[in-house]
Homo-oligomer: A and B are copies of this chain.
Amino acid sequence: MNSDARGGGDDELEYVSTRRLEAFTDGVFAIAATLLVLDLSVNKLGPAISVDADLWNALLGQSHAFVSFVISFLLLGMLWAVHVWEFEHIERVSRTITTLNTLRLLGIVLIPFTTSLSSNYPELLAGRLLLPLNFLFVTLIGLIEWHYATRPGRHLTAGLSEAGIRSSRNGAAVAVVASVITVALSPWLGPWAFVAFILNPIADRIPGISRPRSRRP
């Protein structure tokens, strides 16, 4: 409406509630995580099973789908926890934040589809690559969003020291690195490539490349 008192690149800065962005995000994460289960379906067990052994075998035949389900669920849980941590420190939401967050959620919403690809075509390249690429997209947008939110002049965050901003940015970069490694290894290792994501909890224990631990005042 009027010109910006804080000057510089802040001209699109405006206040809308973080509360609703968080509620929308929680909803999308919760639904995407729950839709994963649709890929485990009795319809895929085959027609007319009437013997115990046949049902156990049919379920074992879905074990690849189950592994994909668990991996995607746990990674969604981890990405959600990162979002929670970040928005504990973000106080105001600008239009750019909203747009970046929408792109991040677009990536989240695709996870049930790429997980389904991974569990249906475990031996094919597209089946192996697209799930890690999907997570790479999400972590990359997350890195950009967090850099944007913590740029010094922007005053969107609160309660973070300069060192804290630096190390949390490094932490967000580690998630991107873990995604890149997973993409690179998945043609050979399949879902085992996701082991690269243990980089995240490891980094979280190293000062300087982790999200700083805040305490109750």
A residues near B, CB below 8 A? 1-2, 5, 12-17, 20-24, 26-38, 40-42, 49-52, 55-56, 59, 70, 73-74, 77-78, 80-81, 84-85, 87-88, 92, 95, 98-99, 102, 105-106, 109-110, 112-113, 116-117, 120-121, 123-127, 163-164, 167, 204, 207, 210, 212-216
Contacts and interface: CB of A to CB of B under 8 A. Distances in A.
Given A1-B210, A16-B85, 19 more contacts: A1-B167, A2-B207, A13-B213, A13-B215, A14-B213, A16-B214, A17-B88, A20-B84, A20-B87, A28-B33, A42-B113, A42-B116, A49-B124, A52-B125, A77-B102, A77-B106, A78-B102, A81-B102, A95-B204
A35 B15 CA distance: 29
A49 B29 CA distance: 30
Contact of A26 (B5, B24, B50, B123): B24
A215 B15 contact: yes
Contacts of A88: 15-17
A165 B53 CA distance: 45
Nearest to A27: B30
Contacts of A127: 55
A205 B79 CA distance: 33
The residue among A26, A102, A212 with the most chain B CB atoms within 10 A of its own CB is A26
B1 A213 contact: yes
Contact of A113 (B37, B105, B204): B37
Given A1-B213, A59-B126, A40 B113 contact: yes
A40 B120 CA distance: 14
